[in-house]
Amino acid sequence: MSLNVKNLLPALAAYVEQTRHWQITRADHPAAGAIVNPDYDIGDPKATEAFMVGCAYLRLITGDADEALWGQALAAADALIRFQRPSGLIDLINVNYDSSPDTGFTVQRLCALMQLAQEQATQDAQWSLLWEKLARFVRAATPGICRGGFHTPNHRWVMVSALVQARALFPDLDDDHSVTNTVNTYLAEGFDIDAEGAFIERSVGVYDAVNTRSLLLIAEHWPDAAVQASALNAVEANLHFDLHLLHADGSAETGLSRRQDYGTRAVATGLIPSLLLLHRLHPNPLWPSAAEMLWQQGGGGHPSEHLLWIVHALLRYGESGETHAQLPDRFARHYPHNGIWRVRNGELSASVFQGVTRLMTLTYGAAELSSVKISQTYFGQYIGRFVGDALTVPPQEGAAAAQLRSEGLANPRRPGYELPLGKPVPPAQWTTMLAERQIRRLPPLTAELTIRQVDNGDEQGFDLHYQTLGGMDGVTGQIMFDFAPGGIWETEDTRLKPAAGQTIFLKQGQGVMRYGSDAISIGAGAYAHGMWQMREAETAPEHVRILITFCLPVDQIFK
C-alpha cells in the first residue's frame, strides 16, 4: 500500500473515530471539550490538540461536513484555550508544567494546520470559527514561548520553529521584535549536528524526527539564507546518518541514544514527514524512497503523533510519485566520533559500540541478538565489566573488522587494596581521606575483542576473537549473549522454548536461536564454571541469556 493521502485516510479516520469517544461532553465540567488521556484518566492538552488537528485534516481531505464531529473539534479548541495558563503556556501533564517547549510542540502543529487551511478560513464560516480559536491560542502562547526556556537540546528548535511559524502567520506578533530577538538568541547557539550527522541526543527513535522536522520548518519560514542553508544541511546529514542505522525491517538501531528510546526496536516512522519535506526543499529520490520503505514496514500501525505529521507533509507538498532509489543496505562504516561501527549486508544488521557494556547487537530478519557483553569477577563492575575504551577499525583488507579494547579505567584505585594510614580516620572523612591512602596494586586487566565480518555466500556472520592481556590467572569470567524472547533454542541434543529471564550455559559445540525461518548460531561453547549470576555482572531479565564461561587467561574465537 503506497504512501499517499488516499491510503492514509483510513488510519486518520480510525484515529479520529476512536478518540472522539474520549471527549468530556458535560458542559459543567471544568475541562469540557477536552480529550481524556486513557493512560491518565484526565483531560490532556496534548491529546486534545491532536484530536482537533486530526478532525481538521479529515475535513480538509474529504470535504465532509460532519457537523457533529466538527462541533467536537470546536469544543476541543475551546478546551485547549482554557488549558492555557496566564503565561499562555500549557502543561505536559505527566512531567512539565507551564511548559514553553511543550506549548511549542502544540503551536508547531497548529500553525502547520493553519497554513494549509488559510483559504478555507476565508471562504467557510465553520473553518473561520476554528481559525479564530487557533489564532487566539497561538497569539497568547507566543510571548510565553519567547520567555519560557527549555530542558533538552531538541526543545530549542521546537520553540524556534513554533515562533517563526507564528510570525509568518501573524507578523504583528513581532512588532516589538520579541520574536526576532528570541529566535536569533537561540540560533546563535548553532544547530547541534556533529560531523557524522548525529544530534546531541542521538535519538533515531524519537528526537531525530523532532529535530529534523523543526529545522525544516525553520528553513521554510525564517528569511535568512544562511540559516536556511545550515538547517537543510543539518537535516540532510542527520537523515543520511539515520538511514545507516536502520535494520532491514526499518527498525532503528537505538544503542547510541541518550534518551528514552535507548535499546528499543521499532520502525522509524517518525522520520517519514522529514523525509518527505526534505525532498520538496532539497530534492533527492533517496528521501521519498526511504519514506515509502518505512511506511510499508510500519504496516499502517503509526502512532497519531507521526500520522498527523505525515498527513501534513503530503497535504503541504503533494505526493512524491514513483521513486526507486537504492537505500543503503550493504556497507561497513565506522563513526569514530559517535563510537559505533555499523555493518549491513542485506538482512544482516550489526552494530559495535565504544564506551558501553553493550558491545554488539545483531539482527538477521526476525532473529535478534540484543547484546553481547563480557564480564569478569575482577574487582567489581568498574574493572571487571568489559567496556570498549577504544574502538578501532583498521584499513579494510578483505573482510571488514573492528577491535574493542578494554583497559578497566573506570576506577583508578582498582585493581588493588587500600593500606592503613596510621592516624585517626573520622567516619565523616572516610571518603575524603581515601586519596591519602597508598595502594597495593595488582596487575591491571586489559582485554581485546576483535570482530571480523564473515560472508560465505549462504552463511553470514562474525568471528569474535576475545583475548585477555593482563589481570591474574584463575579469574572467572563469562561472555553473555542476550537474545530477544520468542525464539527456539537448539543444540545438538537439546531443543526448547526459553522464556525471558532464563539463563542457559553453552558448554560445548554450537547453539542456534531460531525465530521462524531466521536464526543466529553461536559457538563453540565453553564451560569453566557454573556461576549463573556473576557478582556485578549486568542482568538481563527481559532477554534469554546464553552463557559461555571461562577462567583467565583467555584467547578464544567464537563464531
The pLDDT value recorded for residue 289 is 95
Structure confidence by residue, pLDDT tens digits, 153-167:
999 999 999 999 999
- pLDDT at residue 398 tops 60: no
What is the arithmetic mean of pLDDT over 224-245? 98
Same domain? For 444 and 343 the reply is: yes
- The span from the CA of 559 to the CA of 553, in Å, is 19
Same domain? For 324 and 407 the reply is: no
- pLDDT at residue 143 tops 60: yes
- The span from the CA of 27 to the CA of 4, in Å, is 39
The total of structural domains in the chain comes to 2
CB 416 within 8 A of CB 445: no
Confidence band (pLDDT; 50, 70, 90) for 397? low
Q: How far, in Å, are 74, 137, 142, 528 from residue 132 at the CA level?
A: 10, 9, 15, 74
Same domain? For 290 and 369 the reply is: no
Same domain? For 256 and 370 the reply is: no
Structure confidence by residue, pLDDT tens digits, 513-554:
999 999 999 989 999 999 998 888 889 999 999 999 999 999
Same domain? For 547 and 500 the reply is: yes
The pLDDT value recorded for residue 399 is 64
Residue 144: inside a domain, yes or no? Answer: no
The pLDDT value recorded for residue 401 is 92
| DSSP one-letter code for 457 | S
Binning the chain into helix, strand and coil, the percentages to the nearest 5 are: 40, 25, 40
**What mean pLDDT value characterizes the chain?**
94
Burial of 302: CB neighbours in 10 Å, binned 0-12, 13-18, 19+:
buried
The pLDDT value recorded for residue 248 is 95
- The span from the CA of 481 to the CA of 3, in Å, is 38
Question: Which contiguous run of DSSP H or E holds residue 99?
Answer: strand 96-99
Structure confidence by residue, pLDDT tens digits, 48-81:
999 999 999 999 999 988 999 999 999 999 999 9
CB 496 within 8 A of CB 554: no
Other C-beta atoms closer than 10 Å to the C-beta of 435 total 7
| DSSP one-letter code for 411 | -
Residue 123: inside a domain, yes or no? Answer: no
CATH (domain of 401): 2.70.98
- Domain end residue (candidates: 328, 346, 379): 328
The pLDDT value recorded for residue 318 is 82
- Domain end residue (candidates: 298, 328, 358): 328
The pLDDT value recorded for residue 536 is 86
Q: Does residue 353 sit in helix, strand or coil? A: strand
Number of residues that make up the chain? 559
Same domain? For 402 and 512 the reply is: yes
Distance between first and last Cα of the chain: 39
Residue 161: inside a domain, yes or no? Answer: no
Residue 125: inside a domain, yes or no? Answer: no
Confidence band (pLDDT; 50, 70, 90) for 303? low
449 DSSP β-pair partners: 404, 466
Same domain? For 211 and 300 the reply is: yes
What is the span of the domain harbouring residue 228?
190-328
- DSSP per position, 199-262: BTT--TTTHHHHHHHHHHHHHHH---HHHHHHHHHHHHHHHHHHHTTB-TTSBB--TT-SSTTT
Other C-beta atoms closer than 10 Å to the C-beta of 428 total 8
Residue 493 backbone dihedrals phi, psi, to 5 degrees: -130, 15
What is the arithmetic mean of pLDDT over 408-432? 93
The pLDDT value recorded for residue 64 is 84
The pLDDT value recorded for residue 379 is 87
Q: Which three cell numbers stand for residue 11?
A: 488510519
Same domain? For 267 and 348 the reply is: no
Q: Which three cell numbers stand for residue 325?
A: 532509489
The pLDDT value recorded for residue 60 is 95
Whole-model pTM? 0.93
Structure confidence by residue, pLDDT tens digits, 324-383:
899 999 999 999 999 999 999 999 999 999 999 999 999 999 999 999 999 988 887 778
Q: What share of the chain in percent tops pLDDT 90?
A: 86
Report which residue type is found at 97: Y
- pLDDT at residue 207 tops 80: yes
Same domain? For 338 and 455 the reply is: yes
What is the arithmetic mean of pLDDT over 282-289? 94
Q: How far, in Å, are 156, 298, 343 from residue 333 at the CA level?
A: 31, 26, 6
Question: Which contiguous run of DSSP H or E holds residue 381?
Answer: helix 381-384
Structure confidence by residue, pLDDT tens digits, 238-282:
999 999 999 999 999 999 999 988 888 899 999 999 999 999 999
Residue 493: inside a domain, yes or no? Answer: yes
Q: Does residue 49 sit in helix, strand or coil? A: helix
- pLDDT at residue 41 tops 70: yes
- The span from the CA of 305 to the CA of 342, in Å, is 29
494 DSSP β-pair partners: 491
Residue 507: inside a domain, yes or no? Answer: yes
- pLDDT at residue 179 tops 70: yes
Same domain? For 306 and 343 the reply is: no
- pLDDT at residue 432 tops 70: yes
- pLDDT at residue 89 tops 80: yes
Confidence band (pLDDT; 50, 70, 90) for 288? very high
Q: In the structure, how many helices (H) and strands (E) does the chain have?
A: 14, 23
What is the arithmetic mean of pLDDT over 214-229? 97
Residue 159: inside a domain, yes or no? Answer: no
Same domain? For 346 and 461 the reply is: yes
- The span from the CA of 57 to the CA of 50, in Å, is 11
- Domain end residue (candidates: 259, 294, 328): 328
Residue 514: inside a domain, yes or no? Answer: yes
- Closest CA relative to residue 306, chosen from 511, 8, 529: 8
- pLDDT at residue 83 tops 90: yes
The pLDDT value recorded for residue 396 is 67
Task: Name the residue with higher pLDDT: 302 or 511.
Answer: 511
Q: What share of the chain in percent tops pLDDT 70?
A: 98
Rg (CA), the chain: 28
Same domain? For 279 and 407 the reply is: no
465 DSSP β-pair partners: 450, 557
